Amino acid sequence: MSADEPDVLVVGAGVAGIAAARTLHARGLSCLVLEAKDRIGGRAYTDATGFDHGASWLHQANDNPLTGFAEALGFETVDHDKLRQRLLFTEGRFATTDERGAFAAAEDRFWRVIEAAAADGAPDRPASDAAPQGGRFDALVAHWEGAQICAAELSRMSLHDFAATALDGPNLLLRRGLGTLVSTLAEGLPIQLNAPVAQLDWGGSGVEASGAFGRIRARAAIITVSTGVLAQASIAFAPGLPAQTLDAIKALPLGLLTKLSFPVPPGTLPEFGPFASLRRDIAGPSDRPISWIARPFGAPVMLAFIGGSLAWELSRAGKHAAEAHARAEFAHVFGAEAAKALGVPIITDLGEDPQFLGSYSHAIPGAQAARRALAEPLADGRLIFAGETCHPRFAATVAGAWLSGEDAAHLILS
């Protein structure tokens, strides 16, 4: 096949696209990866400072396919769960040992109740309807597990999908950054940057992608762009996508987790150990606390995490709104002078970036089957969607993206 007529087109050079391309290449099929941005990695990107703008952790690392790559390539990893000091700010002070224990017990109760409510045969409903209520820390646990971890409130999420995609440890962090690992795995692959696909024709005997790069034909295409982009019809499909595929895209929106990395001058904070995590208790029905991680790998920074509806509101108001909100939260815990001393932050922009339009996916209530529906091959396998959104177990993670990309490639190879 010529360079402008490969066996397979892969649209998107994120984790799923890289996994698909590696799998195809290993089996001798030619492919070309078309990437809209001027870099690879998608929502797994580490900048020059070592800050992971998107994905940061290798979740459930013992079952995560990227763990083996990290080990083989000599990437230093740490088990965040073993290192982190868990801090809780409640009632204007840091929680006691007993209060932290009560919060941990509330987390355990939350998952027992969720798993029982999502048992086989139980009807689907919003995950919030099944969550425990009334206990001292129940509201905080629900906020933490929803907006701060899943990037969307539990009220917006399918109970069954939420339970099916819940993750275990260990949760590994990479000193060189998860995005660095992903970009390393892409080395040597045929990737064309600054090549957004405007239209994908799939109605004939093959597929044809067109854009500013011209027209490229192939036998099949794997589409790995986010459902945020697909829902905006940024790529025109001809013929139009079938109703079941469009319904699945709409049923799998992206939540948002905005991350900020603040430089911290010496003496600004108590000497928390590296990787210490801080959560603030909910002060009232409309309160939406953010969370923090202190000094990752000993670096003099504080990482702020703003999730769910609050992240979307601040994103639409501009980056300065997210910074101002995070400084106000910091001042609430550490005082106004400490907040003023924080340096100028690096801020993620996944919500406003037209190539992403969000962080990672969740299924809306009643749509627990949407991930499998989106991954269903079209036109005898000429058109396949892949990405974290398509994986029914490891959705919203790099593991899910990688496995979905491999699965899509294997469908073409079969």
Query: What CATH number does the domain containing 180 carry?
Result: 3.50.50.60
- Answer whether residue 359 is part of any domain: no
Contact 309, 301 (CB under 8 A): no
287-299: pLDDT as tens digits: 999 999 999 999 9
Say yes or no: 231 and 281 in one domain: no
Instruction: Provide the 8-state DSSP code for 96.
Output: P
Contact 265, 343 (CB under 8 A): yes
Say yes or no: 210 and 261 in one domain: no
- Answer whether residue 143 is part of any domain: yes
Tokens found for residue 355: 């190539």
Neighbours of 211 (CB within 10 A): 17
**CA pair distance 80, 215, nearest whole angstrom:** 46
Is 260's pLDDT higher than 60? yes
pLDDT band at residue 403 using 50, 70 and 90 as cut-offs: very high
Tell me which amino acid residue 142 is: A
Tokens found for residue 95: 């929680």
What are the backbone angles phi and psi of residue 273, rounded to the nearest 5°?
-70, 160
**CA pair distance 135, 386, nearest whole angstrom:** 40
- The pLDDT > 90 percentage for the chain reads 93
Closest CA to 332 of 259, 267, 282: 282
Tokens found for residue 239: 């013929």
* Rg of the Cα atoms in the chain: 22
Tell which of 295, 312, 347 closes a domain: 347
Say yes or no: 96 and 157 in one domain: yes
Say yes or no: 83 and 189 in one domain: no
Neighbours of 217 (CB within 10 A): 18
Grouping H, G, I as helix, E, B as strand and the rest as coil, residue 49 is: coil
Closest CA to 279 of 266, 293, 265, 267: 293
Is 26's pLDDT higher than 60? yes
Contact 12, 223 (CB under 8 A): yes
Grouping H, G, I as helix, E, B as strand and the rest as coil, residue 3 is: coil
Return the bridge partners of 221, or none: 9, 383
Grouping H, G, I as helix, E, B as strand and the rest as coil, residue 376 is: coil
**CA pair distance 303, 230, nearest whole angstrom:** 30
Give mean pLDDT, residues 306-331: 95
- Answer whether residue 3 is part of any domain: no
- Answer whether residue 381 is part of any domain: yes
pTM of the model: 0.96
Tell me which amino acid residue 84 is: R
State how beta strands 276-280 and 291-294 pair: antiparallel
Is 1's pLDDT higher than 50? no
Say yes or no: 197 and 247 in one domain: yes
Domain that holds residue 265: 79-172+257-347
- Answer whether residue 376 is part of any domain: yes
* Model pLDDT, residue 3: 54
Say yes or no: 123 and 228 in one domain: no
Is 76's pLDDT higher than 80? yes
Say yes or no: 64 and 85 in one domain: no
What are the backbone angles phi and psi of residue 201, rounded to the nearest 5°?
-90, 125
53-66: pLDDT as tens digits: 999 999 999 999 99
Is 40's pLDDT higher than 90? yes
